[in-house]
Amino acid sequence: MSGNASGLRIALALALGAAVSLGLARFSYALLLPPMRADLGWSYLTAGAMNTANAAGYLAGALLAPRWLARHDARALMLAGGAATALLLAAHGAVRADAALYLLRALTGVASAATFVGGGLLAARLAQRAVRPGLVLGLYYGGTGIGIVASALLVPPLASRGWPLAWWALAAAALACTAAMARETRTLAGPPAQGGERAHFRWAPLRFALAGYFMFGLGYIGYMTFVVTLLREQRLGDAEIVAFYVLLGVGVMASSWLWAGLLQRQRGGGALALLNGLLAFATVLPVLMPNAVAAVVSGTLFGAVFLSVVASTTALVRHNLPAPTWASGIAAFTIVFALGQIVGPSLVGWLADGPGGLARGFAWSAGFLALGALVAARQRPLVK
């Protein structure tokens, strides 16, 4: 087998890390929320707080990851996180108490962060020696879409027979993905990262982009938490919801190719502003037009955009900051994003518990994203 083909196979295996950490561990929850909420008698606030716990755990894991990587092989960290995620997902199906589920959602966030960060570092190192480095990174982020599609195919038919079955199926899928990663990445080295001084990063010059990214975290997570519940309330059938979520996942897989040129050209906040604006439209569309066609358009557009917002901030840092500050700059964007997605689910759930229900919560989410677009548009390039 040629070196290029071997590298592509390894890149696809690494993409399963993103499938586990984001697709199976986080975004599958939207499909499980309606049956769990009906069975456990949750308010929207409680339902949203479950994803707040997951996001808080993910932030803790992301902050701890540099210490882990300084001591352990990145591949070992990725595989340990994948195995732990599978076990934790299985445990979701064995408990019913809210407190236990909050704890499991938080711990799953920590474990999935270890998988995603470890896999991301390996993907970056693989890209350095690849003929098409952008393809390697695109495949890695696009792996999230694989997890979303798998969740769409697994959860609805099993959840109709009892939501614990769906959690166990997700756990089995996560374990299978982790086993495939272990088998296909045996030749990929990920020695502990070497410490070194980082140049000081100043937040003020990128304040508009940082604020726009915070609003993205606040707005997008409400959609990804509650959209299936909204569609259920609008009486869409199982087949329509499966199609919606599959198309959303396919959009995620295609997104890195769709927006690569824009991210390369835009050196200020233009890409972040445009993508936030598109997400605002996708979020409000099923509220304004509660039908299957609008849902499909909304899901496909949302999937094709939202992970490219993450990529846009990485591109912004690379375009505008000296290399020694890249790590600190990306960390700053990660922190404000994580804070937004910690607050977002509970806030939208609280709003949805009031007059107007989920439609009101979605309108606010779209408003947060639109505000993020307006703020990000004010970000000017730091380097001409």
Identify the CATH homologous superfamily for domain 204-384. MFS general substrate transporter like domains (1.20.1250.20)
* pLDDT over 80 (residue 355): yes
Can you give the pLDDT at residue 201?
A: 63
Burial of 21 (0-12, 13-18, 19+ CB in 10 A): buried
DSSP 297-347: HHHHHHHHHHHHHHHHHHHHHHHHS-GGGHHHHHHHHHHHHHHHHHHHHHH
Please list, in sequence order, all residues whose beta carbon lies within 8 angstroms of the beta carbon of residue 152, skipping any fewer than 6 positions away: 31, 242, 244, 245, 246, 248, 249
pLDDT digits (tens, 9 = 90+) for 98-111: 999 999 999 999 99
DSSP designation for 192: P
Mean pLDDT of 295-317: 87
Identify the CATH homologous superfamily for domain 1-188. MFS general substrate transporter like domains (1.20.1250.20)
pTM above 0.85, yes or no: yes
Can you give the pLDDT at residue 1?
A: 42
Q: Are 58 and 113 in contact (CB under 8 A)?
A: yes
Q: Which amino acid, 133?
A: P
Mean pLDDT of 317-330: 74
* pLDDT over 60 (residue 39): yes
* pLDDT over 60 (residue 130): yes
- Residue 88: other Cβ atoms inside 10 A: 24
Can you give the pLDDT at residue 314?
A: 75
pLDDT digits (tens, 9 = 90+) for 168-211: 999 999 999 999 999 998 887 667 755 544 556 677 888 899 99
CA atoms within 13 A on the CB side of 359: 10
H/E run at residue 224 = helix 207-233
Q: Is the dihedral of CA 180, 182, 186, 191 positive or negative?
A: positive
- Helix 29-40 crosses helix 133-159 at what angle (to 10 degrees)? 30
- Joined tokens for residue 94: 């064995």
Can you give the pLDDT at residue 132?
A: 66
- SS3 of 195, please? coil
More confident site: 384 or 60 = 60
d(CA 325, CA 323): 5
d(CA 164, CA 365): 30
Q: What angle do CA 23, 26, 29 make, to 5 degrees?
A: 105
Question: What separation, in Å, do the N-terminal and C-terminal C-alpha atoms of the chain show?
Answer: 44
Specify the domain boundaries for CATH 1.20.1250.20 within the chain.
1-188, 204-384
Can you give the pLDDT at residue 133?
A: 65
pLDDT digits (tens, 9 = 90+) for 144-170: 999 999 999 999 999 989 999 999 999
Can you give the pLDDT at residue 91?
A: 98
- Residue 26: other Cβ atoms inside 10 A: 27
d(CA 258, CA 199): 33
Smallest Cα–Cα separation from 209: which of 158, 135, 274, 258?
274
**Percent of the chain's residues with pLDDT above 90:** 61
Q: Are 216 and 367 in contact (CB under 8 A)?
A: no
Can you give the pLDDT at residue 196?
A: 47
**Percent of the chain's residues with pLDDT above 70:** 93
Average pLDDT, the chain: 88
- SS3 of 378, please? coil
* pLDDT over 50 (residue 350): yes
